[in-house]
Amino acid sequence: MTIADAALKIGITQQTYYRWRKHYGGMGRDQLKQLPDVLM
């Protein structure tokens, strides 16, 4: 599956995917586990 197909399937644009990847891509596993707590 391509990035374009995956983004379309979950209802976001490719631009949104790449923006999220740039923002969250460097996070470690521990940081990602804490992410829902930060967002709430």
Decide: helix, strand or coil at residue 38.
helix
24 close to 32: Cβ distance less than 8 angstroms: yes
Q: How many domains is the chain partitioned into structurally? A: 1
- pLDDT level of residue 14 (50, 70, 90 thresholds): very high
Task: Report which of residues 26 and 10 the model is more confident about.
Answer: 10
- pLDDT level of residue 39 (50, 70, 90 thresholds): low
13 close to 3: Cβ distance less than 8 angstroms: no
Rounded (5°) CA angle 31-15-19:
25
35 pLDDT higher than 80: no
Any idea which residue has 């829902």 for tokens?
A: 36
The residue range of the domain holding 23 is: 3-39
- The whole-model pTM stands at 0.60
pLDDT value of position 26? 83
